[in-house]
């Protein structure tokens, strides 16, 4: 499970990469595979998720390097995938055939 100290290290690494002139590609990989990966964060404690989402909503968006490193279309598709598979009120399997994750 991801703990608060682990999240702090990941966020510090994202800040470090955003300040490097050649860190954009690594930063994009960090975003795609770790920061935006719902499979990792769905099992993290709620307080850790809150810290991550607060970072993404404030410092992350305000950093030009980070903002330019991500693709808007890819990010929207990933968010839709996350909503489809991880956040549901009624099990969608019988209606849509989609097997929910995160149980």
| For residue 96, pLDDT beyond 70 | yes
Say what the pLDDT of residue 5 is.
96
Average the pLDDT over each of 10-14, 53-57, 70-74 and give the range with the smallest value.
70-74
pTM over 0.75: no
pLDDT tens track for 48-60 = 888 888 888 788 7
Say what the pLDDT of residue 97 is.
77
Say what the pLDDT of residue 11 is.
93
Tell me how far CA of residue 33 lies from CA of 9, 12, 36, 41, 67, in angstroms: 15, 16, 6, 11, 16
């Amino acid at each position: 499970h991801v703990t608060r100290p682990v999240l702090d290290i990941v966020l510090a690494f994202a800040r470090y990469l955003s300040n490097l002139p050649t860190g954009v590609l690594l930063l994009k990989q960090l975003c795609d595979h770790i920061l935006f990966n719902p499979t990792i964060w769905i099992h993290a404690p709620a307080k850790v998720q809150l810290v991550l989402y607060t970072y993404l909503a404030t410092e992350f968006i305000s950093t030009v390097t980070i903002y330019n490193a991500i693709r808007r279309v890819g990010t929207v598709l990933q968010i839709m995938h996350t909503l489809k598979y991880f956040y549901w009120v009624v099990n969608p399997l019988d209606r849509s055939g989609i097997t929910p994750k995160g149980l």
